[in-house]
């Protein structure tokens, strides 16, 4: 820490130019547009009233409440699935050597590089009741995947799959296997080793991954757009709500919901920044 301060102690004009450039870039790209959303959420436009009262009214509208409820439900399931499988995949990648390990590692990263729209299309192909492999079978036992909540969860889980894995893998690699082996030699079985030794060591990485996954899940749009019917009270998530209302010239409702999504992201970021030092100290 002290070293980096020493290096930067001589501040020439270049330093200031660079700083201004960065601040300007971030302002034009992020801060200014987002602040406009906040501004619009409270401003009176045309026939719509402005202010806090109408803002809250729009948010408590049944359609808005439904959309946020659905988004949260989907996010919770996606987070649960990705936490369980994420930790499992991380252990597999770090602790075992097997044929196809590198392929699995690449596959885990795939959702980061593939467009969410493509993910949605792929899921429709695989799970729709008319053309998918399992879709028809699942429908006969009463589970509809596409155009229903399970499909939303699938799509959301798919796009946020790597976040837990990429947080946990480096920590697992760093802690090594000595403590786990010591626990084994002291009489602990596999489950006890995981619960008492491995899990406490990767705890902060998992929490961090969960926060990132939650933020990503709440904001997912592309994949969800394809697998959801997207109509009011029928699979309309918060992001779809924003999109639909914006398209339907109900801009105040769209901005109100958008602002809530922004606030959730900011809270997630604050939580992450708060967790980071703890993780480093551990």
Partner 1 sequence: MSIEVRGVTKKYGDFVALDDVSVSIPTGQLTALLGPSGGGKSTLLRIIAGLEVADGGTVEIEGTDATALPPQRRNVGFVFQHYAAFKHMTVAKNVAFGLEIRKRPKAEVKAKVHELLELVHLEQFADRLPSQLSGGQRQRMALARALAVEPSVLLLDEPFGALDAKVRKELRDWLRRLHDEVHVTTVFVTHDQEEALEVADEIVVINGGRIEQVGSPDDLYDAPANDFVMGFLGEVTVLDGHLIRPHDVVVHTLPAAAGAGAVRGEVVRITRVGFEVRVAVRPEAAPEADEVVVTLTRTFARSLGLEVGSTVWLEPEDGARVVPVPRAVPVGTLGAADPTEPSEVPVA
Q: How far is the CB of 179 from partner 1 (least distance, A)?
A: 5
CB of 280 to partner 1, least distance (A): 13
In whole angstroms, how close is the CB of 202 to partner 1 at the nearest point? 11
Q: Which is nearer to partner 1, 121 or 175 (CB)?
A: 175
Q: How far is 241 from 259, CA to CA, in rounded Å?
A: 12
Residues within window 186-205 making contact with partner 1, judged by CB under 8 A: 186-189, 192, 196-197, 200-201
Token duo for residue 140: 């006969």
> Is residue 95 near partner 1 by the rule CB under 8 A?
no
For residue 166, state whether it binds partner 1 (rule: CB under 8 A).
Answer: no
Name every residue whose Cβ is closer than 8 Å to that of residue 21 and which is 6 or more positions away in sequence.
none
Token pair in block for residue 152: 């939303």
Rg of the chain in Å (alpha carbons): 23
Q: Of the candidates 183, 262, 272, 275, which one interacts with partner 1 according to CB under 8 A?
A: 183
Q: Spell out a b/e string for 155-187, using b for 16 or more CB atoms within 10 Å of the CB, else e.
A: bbbbbbbbbbbbbbbebbeebeeeebeebeeee
Q: Provide, rounded to whole angstroms, the least separation between the CB of residue 94 and partner 1.
A: 17
Size of the site for partner 1 (CB under 8 A): 17
What CA dihedral angle connects 110, 112, 114 and 116, to 10 degrees? 130
| Residues making contact with partner 1 (CB under 8 A) | 178-179, 181-189, 192, 196-197, 200-201, 282
């Amino acid at each position: 820490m002290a070293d980096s301060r020493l290096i930067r102690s001589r501040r020439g004009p270049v330093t200031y130019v660079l700083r201004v450039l960065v601040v300007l870039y971030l302002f034009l790209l992020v801060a200014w547009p987002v602040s406009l959303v906040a501004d619009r959420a409270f401003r009176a436009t045309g026939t719509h009233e402005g202010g806090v009262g109408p803002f809250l009214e729009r948010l408590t509208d049944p359609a808005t409440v439904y959309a946020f409820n659905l988004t949260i439900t989907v996010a919770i399931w996606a987070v649960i699935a990705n936490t369980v499988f994420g930790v499992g995949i991380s252990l597999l990648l770090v602790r075992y050597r097997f044929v196809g390990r590198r392929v699995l590692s690449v596959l885990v990263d795939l959702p980061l590089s593939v467009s969410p729209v493509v993910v949605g299309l792929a899921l429709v192909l695989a799970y729709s009741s008319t053309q998918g492999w399992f879709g028809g079978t699942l429908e006969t036992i009463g589970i509809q995947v596409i155009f229903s909540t399970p499909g939303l969860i699938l799509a959301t889980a798919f796009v946020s799959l790597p976040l837990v894995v990429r947080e946990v893998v480096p920590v697992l690699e760093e802690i090594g296997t000595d403590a786990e082996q010591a626990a084994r030699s002291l009489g602990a079985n596999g489950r006890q080793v995981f619960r008492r030794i491995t899990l406490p060591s990767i705890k902060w990485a998992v929490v961090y991954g969960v926060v990132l996954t939650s933020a990503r899940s709440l904001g997912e749009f592309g994949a969800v757009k394809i697998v959801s019917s997207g109509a009011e009270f029928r699979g309309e998530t918060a992001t779809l709500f924003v999109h639909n209302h914006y398209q339907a010239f109900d801009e105040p409702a769209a901005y109100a919901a958008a602002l809530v999504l922004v606030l959730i992201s900011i809270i997630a970021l604050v939580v992450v920044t708060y967790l980071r030092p703890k993780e480093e100290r551990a």
